[in-house]
Homo-oligomer: A and B are copies of this chain.
Amino acid sequence: MKDATLKQIAAQLGVSITTVSKALKDYPDVSKKTKNAVIALAKKLNYTPNSFAVNLRTKESRTIGLIVPTVDYNFFSKVFEGVLKEAEKRKYLVIILRSNEKLEIEKKQIDLLLKKRVDGILMSLSNETGDFDHINNIIAYKTPLVLFDKIAKLVNCSKVMINDRKAAYDAVTYLISKGHKKIAHFRGSYIPQNSIDRFLGYKRALEDNNIFYDSSLVYVCDNNTDFEDGYNNAKKIVNDHPDISAIFAVTDLVAVGIIKYLNDIGVQVPQQIAVFGFCNSFMSEIITPKLTTIDQPGFEIGKKAASILFDEIELIKSNKAFEFQSVELETSIIERESA
């Protein structure tokens, strides 16, 4: 029954194909009686409009692509909820792809989405993404693009992010206000802008408070998918620098790894070493002691990025001019027990 066509319906009812098509689209110039007859027969024939043919005609698929670096149990799950929420409201479908933090996969995913002619793309860059030709290619294809979270400042498109530098600055200033002087930083990899910015915020807060910046207190955690990096680097730092009094972690996942190690060896958090996270993920409430962290509003980031993308898709469709937006969402300190 899948191949029943407008033609068949038209023939059976003795009306024109145009009338059938208009009836199915609920156009006002078709009588209610005809509409009901068409809909009843279409249902009987199990007929659904061929969305590919519709796409060809309208050049619109009402589908967007979302590329995330990883499928995690924290930040990106929240982003994802925000994107879906907005997509449901605006009646778009979302194809999700992940780059696995690899530049080569990211390139391939973009290619797939462009070939699929999605209406727009939402993406957060992989940790390896240091040049942007493939991202600029999206723009060359006149496909609307919104970057979020891990963005590239040099790419000319709308962006939704937080002020990572300020959030990190606030976190470290908080630790300093609690009397900490020897504060380590477990940073993310070297390429992503948000990892760089969190590090710079850490450094600046120390300097503004006349605390000597010691690069040997900075450890790199570039595994985004489990807490092993935090755990292993905690082991190292307790050995190398037993006199540190606080650690500012680049993510909650890293902070959880640190707390797990400190719990395992019986070092008291926060009495002996304070730990500060970044994200305010679900697990920050679960771990003992509960994690003090930066609230990074993943749901709102996803929702806002999707909303801007849908606006741009629709503005382009109606040939209206618009300017790219750079939206910075607020973060705040969530005080719990670990710092």
Contacts and interface: CB of A to CB of B under 8 A. Distances in A.
A50 B117 CA distance: 7
Interface in A1-60: 1-2, 46, 48-53, 55-56
A71 interface: yes
A111 B288 CA distance: 45
Interface string A69-90: 0011110010011001000000
Interface stretch (A93-101, A163-171, A316-324): A93-101
A295 B180 CA distance: 41
Nearest to A61: B52
| Main SS class of interface, A | mixed
Given A80-B71, A97-B93, A114 B286 contact: no
A289 B80 CA distance: 30
Q: Count chain B CB atoms within 10 A of each CB in A48, A142, A286 and give the residue with the most.
A: A286
A126 to B, nearest CB: 15
Interface of A: 1-2, 46, 48-53, 55-56, 61, 63, 71-74, 77, 80-81, 84, 93-98, 112, 114-117, 140-142, 256, 260, 263, 281-283, 286-288
9 contacts: A51-B117, A52-B52, A56-B56, A71-B80, A71-B84, A73-B77, A84-B97, A94-B97, A96-B96
Given A51-B115, A51-B117, A52-B61, 7 more contacts: A2-B141, A49-B115, A50-B117, A52-B55, A63-B95, A256-B286, A286-B287
A94 B93 contact: no
A247 B73 CA distance: 26
Nearest to A71: B81
Nearest to A259: B286
Nearest to A56: B52
